Amino acid sequence: MTELKERRPLKVRDVKLAQKIALWLSNRNISPNVISVTSVVFALSAAICFILMPSNNYTWLPFIAALFIQLRLLCNLFDGMVAVEGGKSTNSGELFNDIPDRIADPLIIVAVGYSIPMFSWADSLGWLVGLLAVMTAYIRTLASSMGAPTDFRGPMAKQHRMALITMASLLTIIETLIWSQGYILLTTLIIMLFGTIITIWRRISAAYHYLESN
């Protein structure tokens, strides 16, 4: 079971609509582990949309990708709420809480790289940022296992990465109507690259100072 102090702090958990949806899911006998796995399905769907963008002139693809990203995040919200507030946590819950995220993040980020064929190095950039995104979670988990506080700080934590890609996807709709598509998503990956490096450094530094002082 994920302890409350180890959960990512989200104000949306206090929103009554979110609580009602979580209660509805709990009453339908939907397990938090199923919700966690479903998040990967939504992430894969978003990734497919990004990969299809260069070969299709469908301006709705970026919108659908943004929608799938938000559905993925809703799964991340409700799996924890159903597990903790709904009292449906399991001994293996932490595996289902963490592993799907490690799959979903690079799926989306790497696919963004492949959606920018005008730059031959964009796919490599996507892989690099996807790897670094997984590294941020690895450092958080490693530090926590060594006794340091669970650290969700940014500036490019999961919710920040997904918010940035969602916004870039929506702006890409406008970009497609005005000029060549791809520059907004490329800029997004570059911002994520430097933001993720800073996040990794901040988490390592915080864990180091905590462990050395205790």
Q: Which domains does the chain have, with CATH numbers?
A: 4-212 (1.20.120.1760)
Greater pLDDT, 30 or 16: 30
- Cα–Cα dist 40/180, whole Å: 30
Q: In terms of C-beta distances under 8 Å and separation of at least 24 residues, what long-range contacts does 149-157 make, across chains too?
A: 149/210, 150/5, 150/6, 151/203, 151/206, 151/207, 152/8, 152/9, 153/199, 153/202, 153/203, 153/206, 154/195, 154/199, 155/195, 155/198, 155/199, 156/192, 156/195, 156/196, 156/198, 156/199, 157/8, 157/199
pLDDT band at 4 (very low <50, low <70, confident <90, very high): very low
What pLDDT is attached to residue 24?
Answer: 76
The reported pLDDT for the residue numbered 86 is 64
Q: What is the mean pLDDT of the chain?
A: 88
For residues 78-86, average pLDDT? 77
User: Mean per-residue pLDDT for 153-171?
Assistant: 94
pLDDT digits (tens, 9 = 90+) for 106-119: 999 999 999 998 89
Residue of higher predicted confidence among 85 and 164: 164
Percent of the chain with pLDDT over 90: 63
Does residue 83 carry a pLDDT above 90? no
Tokens of residue 12, six digits: 């949306």
d(CA 82, CA 77): 9
**pLDDT given at position 213:** 92
d(CA 80, CA 73): 11
